[in-house]
Amino acid sequence: MGDDSRPAPTVDEERAAVDTAPTDAADADPDARLLVRLRAGDEAAFSELVDRWSAPMLRVALIHTGTRAVAEEAVQDTWLAVLQGLDRFEGRSTLRTWVFRILLYTCRGKAERERRVPPISDVQRSAGEMTGRRAFAEDRFLPSDHPHWPGHWSQPPRSWMRTPDDALLGSELRQHLSQAVAALPERQRQVLVLRDVEGWTSEEVCRLLGVLPGNQRVLLHRARSTVRAALEPYLTVERP
């Protein structure tokens, strides 16, 4: 009780995880056939990939670049870089992971140029975002020296409205949701968007971002906790 922090993984641990991350061989890549066609110069394969992946790429790019125009530019530059690098792609990651990794580098470069922020490594970024906010303010719970119910709710969450999905995503709520996601620290936002918006598996996200599974869960947990808290005022049932 009261031990509220997990041991923070060290920078070395995370770097080691990146280096030794299981490589998914090309034969395990669901897009292996498309890759073969692509290399053979099959334009239909290229346009299929562009059409299938550009939407998620744009959404991921928007996380980093902030504006639609720059995001589109980043996606375009990424596809151009993919063409340039295709002959050298060794299939040590899946095609999708490789393409999105190029996208992240492209976006990072653009964002840094625009905001003139000093570049910091992904590992430093993750480490900085692992700590921080808890799911609830501590005063939502009874103190740890409470005689009967230490650490139990003093103000439990009030129930949320039960609404059908379309009503749930009314424009006001959707706007607040998007703002809450946009306000997340970058690493948390990447993990949350890929996992919960785009529906990627944790393995894929770890591979793309080069984070340990445990760290990925911490980032996801912080992000979901923040977004849940942001939705609270809009979904809590009013008291009569």
Residues that bind another protein (CB under 8 A): 1, 4, 41, 43, 46-47, 50-51, 54-56, 58-59, 62, 72, 75-76, 79-80, 83-84, 86-87, 134-136, 138, 141, 149-153, 156-160, 165, 168-169, 173-174, 177-178, 181, 192, 196-197, 199, 202, 213-214, 217, 220-221, 224-225, 227-228, 231-232, 235
Task: State the minimum distance, in angstroms, from the CB of residue 118 to another protein.
Answer: 30
CA geometry: angle at 120 spanning 103 and 94, to 5°? 30
d(CA 215, CA 8): 8
Question: Closer CB to another protein, residue 44 or residue 117?
Answer: 44
Find tokens 């039960």 and name the residue.
162
Residue 99 CB partners (closer than 8 Å, separation 6+): 49, 53, 57, 78, 82
Question: Closer CB to another protein, residue 103 or residue 192?
Answer: 192
Tokens representing 240 are: 């009569």
Determine which helix (DSSP H) or strand (DSSP E) holds 93, and give its type and residue range.
none
Task: State the minimum distance, in angstroms, from the CB of residue 169 to another protein.
Answer: 5
Contact yes or no for 198/209 (Cβ under 8 A): no
Task: State the minimum distance, in angstroms, from the CB of residue 85 to another protein.
Answer: 10
Tokens representing 42 are: 């099959």
Question: Closer CB to another protein, residue 28 or residue 167?
Answer: 167
Task: State the minimum distance, in angstroms, from the CB of residue 116 to another protein.
Answer: 27
